[in-house]
Structure 1
Amino acid sequence: MPARDAIAAVTDAFTEHRPPGAPETGDGPLGWDGYGASRERAAARTGEAESVVYGTGRVGGLDCVLVAFEFGFLGGSLGRRSGDRLEAAYTLAAERRLPLVSLVATGGSRMQEGMIALIQLQRVAGASARLRAAGLPQIAVLRDPATGGGWATLGAGADVVLALPGAQIGFAGSRVRPAAADPFAYTAEGQSAAGQVDAVVAPDELGRTLGRWLAALTVTGPARPAPVPDALSATGLPETGWDAVERARAAGRPRAGAYLDAYFDDRLELRGDRCGGVDPGMLCGVGLRAGQPVAYAAQCGTATLPAGYRTAARVIRLADRLGLPVLTLIDTPGAANDAEAERTGAGAAIAEVFGAVASARVPVTSLVIGEGGSGGALALAAPGNTHVTADSYFSVIAPELAAAILKRGPQDVRATAGQLRLRPQDLVELGVARSVVGAAPGP
């Protein structure tokens, strides 16, 4: 799809901006024989003077700066004049305080300009970093193909990465990757499975999805704390510690997905840790509640993988940069502790979340909705703003493991649970939690 058709497919209106600097002339910075003629043919075929078109537009009724690659112009490749346009687009977004949406379709850097083409990636990276520092979001849509430096800067460097079905995506293009390489790894679906793409979106849904993301990332004032979710089960407070454990482990207890569905009017997923990992037991993203955006990270009751912690840290840092409040839902027996978890950096990943929560300048609200197992749960808990449901518990470690550490037998597990003071009401009395949410009258 040509660049202007791609823009028209997602926008309500678009105003093109003209790039700074003179057009490329002759055979370019390397004097590459025939380069000028190639550009002339590309211009005649596409109607474009370069491989990048940019300007301001409206998507879903919201203003943004748009960048679109014209693949028909020398494979959408990057040269110094396309670098001018990209840098100008980022500057325009910063000046107007607008999000940047990139519609990427490129084969990489332009061979005929050699290193002059390659160093455009530094310009793009610098412009992206300045926009990031200004607290403005960047959304990339990966068309076919999105390879080389375009993928490694505008694409993978965006806050939200969407892709069209079947798009070829990867740092290595089809002509330079190993012959034995798995072709699925270089597709939109393969990159999504590896946590590098947040969503694969059908073309006829792309405009609506972009509009939803722009609404979710648009901040209109100082971040206010996310309201504490209502409890989804009405139950009295547990009598004993072991009662609390059994309630939290009950198969029919409401889980994170149900809480998020009840809390948000609309929510969008941020998928993967950008290191090749996805944890289905950690739901992360941004949602709208009464028109206000809230970022979320929610455990689903399973042992949390390193990829889950890294994804949560990624979302909390994004929220902090954009000024979004954060909601965390805590429900895990603990961090995954098998050999694979250790090899993939469990300790470092948990430390990332502790650090992201500790350094967040935006308010973080936490609710324990089930099991609160040790440091793997505490990493997501907001100091001073953690609440608990009546069918939850929070403990330094699971009662069974505590008994084992203390060299007690299985018959002592229930008593150990009581000694740990892990019931919801105990947590409030100890000052660990601020309130028990939605507890029905009971013992």
Structure 2
Amino acid sequence: MTPEGPVPQPGGMTTTGPSALSARDALALVARDFSAFTGPERPQPPDGPLGWGGYDAARARARDRTGESESVLCGTGKAGSVEAVLISFEFGYLGGSLGERTGDRIEAAHARAREQGLPVVTLVATGGSRMQEGMRALTQLQRVARQTALTRRAGLPQLALVRDPATGGGWATLAAGADVVLGLPGAQAGFAGSRVRPRDADPGAYTVEGQHAAGHLDQIVPEDEAGPAVARWLGLLTDGGNGTRGEAPPEPEPEPEPGPAPEPAPVPYALTSAPPPESGTEAVSRARSRDRPRAAAYLDAYFAEREEISGDRAGGVDPGMRCGFGRHRGRTVAYAAQCGTATLPSGYRTAARLIRLADRLGLPVLTLIDTPGAANDAEAERAGAGPAIADVFAAVAEAAVPVTSLLIGEGGSGGALALAAPGALWVTPDSYFSVIAPEMAAAILKRGPERVPETAEELRLRPQDAVGLGVARGIAPRAPGLPPVCE
């Protein structure tokens, strides 16, 4: 890494964007009452572990230029009403690179978070590992990964705000590995720095916008909205500061016993005044109607406020699956909601990610089911439709927190059932659940179109049939005056 002039990252990009903020300026964006700490830091021989000529002098100039003694500044502060451990990178100090002492500080920060049961917020602006410390610097990524894993096991949320740039191991561990990843507009984000990419590479792929489109980053927030966004997210992920669990024991001791499960999410009211359908054909027609309430209406009626995650962290985003966390009657509920379209593999993976995160944080889950079925074209198969659906089935089955499910429209086969909680599924009057669509069932049975209504009756598709068959617990009551939930 070159330490002089306009500070470049190890991959070679000079930046004048969001990373023009110093570490302390970035902290001021998101927190107040900041109190710094360092923890023990190892002594280093002259010019570092490699004896890199001029390294000590470069660090001295970086200290003079920034006023900081390392590339990260760690401490505690309040984001909104939530106390958090904060890790802020100083890009002006050798490009925000990770060296051994950077690892010391990040380890101390995560240890403090676990000791005090606090969430961790990392404000990332780094070019990667510090070349002047060679492999000793690179191995800090393993150390960072270990600390984030321990904090994750302790049930504490981790949030990253991507400044400019976030490349190399800093992106691949502290940023992309966080539970929720926010990004400042225009910031560079990617594993490869600008000087090590293929010459014909699309530069847009290495931005927060590109990462968001590919499902690797949850939200893009303007700089002047970063503070309120971080505060909202921490309030939701910690259930207003009451949802954290505390320190995970060091290995090889066993993991802590889980605490008591939270109360289940209440079942939403049905946003319709119509009685249940009289026939299977009517049930299908009503569920497919463009006029019935969709997921957005249910989410708006149920939550006083909410924030959404985006993407499956594997390269895909399904706009037909909305996942996030919301405030309902003063407490946090996680949600995964299908929007009436054929669900893509990325949608199922996003839902599984949401359910597992909620389970780890001890937050109840609400699923809203509405899909004609899983996407079944060749592209969906290549993207892993089967494994993705299996992942959601497993996430629901493994969840220690309660999952409440409401069928609000079409319930098409296993693509819908994957989001349904066994023993905790409710249905609305304008919904139907079926092993297969009646038209497809008739075709398989070699029946003509005129026999589709007959087939629909044989399949017992009405919502009251789902209750009678023991698949659903009941029909959600009609909302008097459309209040948010049923009692």
Normalising by the residue count of structure 1, what TM-score does the alignment of the two structures yield?
Answer: 0.98
Secondary structure of the 2:113 match is helix
1:257 aligns with 2:296: yes
**Which runs of structure 2 are paired with 1:78-117 in the superposition (5 Å)?**
78-117=98-137
Secondary structure of the 1:92 match is helix
Using a 3 Å threshold, how does the CA distance of structure 1 residues 11 and 23 change in structure 2: closer, same or farther? farther
- Whether the 8 Å contact between 1:24 and 1:81 is mirrored in structure 2 is no
**Which runs of structure 2 are paired with 1:264-275 in the superposition (5 Å)?**
264-275=303-314
Task: Give CA-to-partner distance per residue, 1:173-219, whole Å, 9 cap, x none.
Answer: 11111111000101111111111110000011111011100110114
1:353 aligns with 2:373: no
Shift of 1:439: 5.1
Shift of 1:75: 0.1
**Which runs of structure 2 are paired with 1:19-98 in the superposition (5 Å)?**
19-22=39-42, 24-98=44-118
1:163 match:
183
1:425 match:
464
Q: Distance in 2 between matches of 1:147 and 1:199?
A: 18
Q: Distance in 2 between matches of 1:387 and 1:52?
A: 49
1:405 aligns with 2:425: no
Name the stretch that deviates more: 403-412 or 358-367: 403-412
- Whether the 8 Å contact between 2:23 and 2:91 is mirrored in structure 1 is yes
Q: Distance in 1 between matches of 2:278 and 2:338?
A: 26
- Whether the 8 Å contact between 2:269 and 2:478 is mirrored in structure 1 is no
Shift of 1:19: 2.8
What is the CA RMSD across the aligned residues, in angstroms? 1.2
1:239 match:
278
Secondary structure of the 1:146 match is strand
1:392 aligns with 2:412: no
The letter for the 2-side match of 1:11 is A
The letter for the 2-side match of 1:237 is P
2:8 match:
none
- Out of 316, 321, 328, the position equivalent to 2:360 is 321
1:224 match:
263
2:167 match:
147
- Whether the 8 Å contact between 2:216 and 2:315 is mirrored in structure 1 is yes
- Whether the 8 Å contact between 2:38 and 2:108 is mirrored in structure 1 is no
Q: Distance in 2 between matches of 1:65 and 1:267?
A: 23
The letter for the 1-side match of 2:451 is D
- Out of 116, 123, 133, the position equivalent to 2:153 is 133
Name the stretch that deviates more: 360-369 or 230-239: 230-239
Q: Distance in 1 between matches of 2:311 and 2:154?
A: 24
Task: Give CA-to-partner distance per residue, 1:232-251, whole Å, 9 cap, x none.
Answer: 11111111100000000001
Name the stretch that deviates more: 420-429 or 218-227: 218-227
* Identity between Structure 1 and Structure 2 (%): 69
- Whether the 8 Å contact between 1:14 and 1:58 is mirrored in structure 2 is yes
Q: Distance in 2 between matches of 1:10 and 1:21?
A: 27
Q: Distance in 1 between matches of 2:163 and 2:220?
A: 11
Q: Distance in 2 between matches of 1:31 and 1:439?
A: 74
Secondary structure of the 2:335 match is strand
Shift of 1:405: 1.4
Q: Distance in 2 between matches of 1:18 and 1:181?
A: 39
- Whether the 8 Å contact between 1:296 and 1:326 is mirrored in structure 2 is yes
Q: Distance in 2 between matches of 1:349 and 1:145?
A: 32
Shift of 1:65: 0.2
Q: Distance in 2 between matches of 1:21 and 1:85?
A: 7
1:205 aligns with 2:225: yes
Q: Distance in 2 between matches of 1:22 and 1:238?
A: 72
The letter for the 2-side match of 1:121 is L
Q: Distance in 2 between matches of 1:34 and 1:233?
A: 73
Secondary structure of the 1:288 match is strand
Aligned residues: 441
Normalising by the residue count of structure 2, what TM-score does the alignment of the two structures yield?
Answer: 0.89
Shift of 1:438: 2.5
Shift of 1:18: 2.2
Q: Distance in 2 between matches of 1:161 and 1:362?
A: 23
Secondary structure of the 1:370 match is strand
Q: Distance in 1 between matches of 2:233 and 2:302?
A: 18
Q: Distance in 2 between matches of 1:238 and 1:391?
A: 7
Where in structure 2 are there 5+ consecutive unaligned residues? 1-20, 244-260, 480-487
Q: Distance in 2 between matches of 1:27 and 1:243?
A: 78
**Which runs of structure 2 are paired with 1:159-198 in the superposition (5 Å)?**
159-198=179-218
The letter for the 1-side match of 2:169 is G
Task: Give CA-to-partner distance per residue, 1:384-421, whole Å, 9 cap, x none.
Answer: 00000000000001111111111111111111011001
Shift of 1:24: 4.1
The letter for the 2-side match of 1:263 is Y
- Whether the 8 Å contact between 2:413 and 2:435 is mirrored in structure 1 is yes
Secondary structure of the 2:111 match is helix
